[in-house]
Amino acid sequence: MDLKKPLTFDEQLDKLIAHRMVISDREKAKDILKKVNYYRFTGYALQFRKDPSGSDYIEGTTFETVYHLYKVDEILRDTFRRYIEKAEVYYRTQIAYGFSIAKCTDAPYDQHYDENNFYNKKGYKEVMETFSREQNYYKDSLIVKHHKTKYSSKMPLWVIVELMSFSNMSKLYSSMYYSEKDTIAGMVGVGKDTLENHLHCLSVLRNKCAHAARMYNTDFNPPAKFTTSFLRKHPEIKNNSLFAYTLVLLKRLPDEESKKSLIQTVETVINEYSSDIDMNLIGFPENYMEIMRNNL
């Protein structure tokens, strides 16, 4: 089967019009498509299709409405990116400290290079193979050059985690023995299974933000883990929704000031674009503010 034929910007607009999308200002719409890939843009129009398997849009669907959803997504990504950074720095510190104090107690203090100090040895090997490639990105940095010259390229874990991607660091935690997982999780006041899940969720959210992936009308994987009592109290929460991942970020922020700031920022964005957002498509229940405030 042939791939779809490339379309000019004008042909892209004609296609949208043919599928019943209303375009009031053609030149403005064309300028937007020059900046936002047609394929990316139409992802935000999925909810407006008459038939999920069809291409025609519900009568009255406007280009402007779809673009507003795109802008909401962009603002949310920018918001989450700022707060994920706070959590990322914090958990790099906790993981490096917790493991090093528990395991790296005898000279030459390089026990984090020994797979026998990890429960999931296959997972650990994959982490270190990935780190070898990641480290190569920083080969010209003073940190890498210093450790290459003085320590035969070996580094303390607290240096390694600063060069690792957040996703790879999450996998490093997953590879540890229960004892080290418990130690680190205890330091932040959460169970080891929950922390493992939340680190994975945050790495997914971070990657979506970094790569400008669509978060609106998207199911997230893995499903976020919460306590049974919390889920019983809030059956309205879908654990694969953007709201669930927002709660994960909220719970994993290191201080109350950051948490309050995140809540206020999310509320501002939601209120500003409330007429355009279908809250069900981001999993935000009507009482989302109450739930967030109760999880400071």
Show pLDDT as tens, one digit a residue, over the chain (296 residues).
899 999 999 999 999 999 999 999 999 999 999 999 999 999 999 999 999 888 999 999 999 999 999 999 999 999 999 999 999 999 999 999 999 999 999 999 999 999 999 999 999 999 999 999 988 877 777 776 777 777 677 889 999 999 999 999 999 999 999 999 999 999 999 999 999 999 999 999 999 999 999 999 999 999 999 999 999 999 999 999 999 999 999 999 999 999 999 999 999 999 998 888 999 999 999 999 999 999 87
- Structure-token pair, residue 100: 């090093």
Cβ count near 271 (within 10 Å): 10
- Given a contact cutoff of 8 angstroms between Cβ atoms, the answer to whether 219 and 241 are in contact is yes
- Given a contact cutoff of 8 angstroms between Cβ atoms, the answer to whether 255 and 215 are in contact is no
Cα–Cα distance, 284 to 267 (Å, whole number): 11
Q: Max alpha carbon distance in the chain (Å)?
A: 72
The 8-class DSSP code of residue 222 comes to S
Nearest CA to 113 out of 94, 95, 131 is that of 131
Query: What are the structural domain ranges in the chain?
Result: 9-61, 71-293
pLDDT for 76 equals 93
What's the helix, strand, coil split of the chain in %, to 5?
65, 0, 35
Amino acid at 82: R
Cα–Cα distance, 242 to 217 (Å, whole number): 9
pLDDT for 151 equals 66
Amino acid at 15: K
pLDDT for 150 equals 74
Give the dihedral sign, CA 56/58/64/66: negative
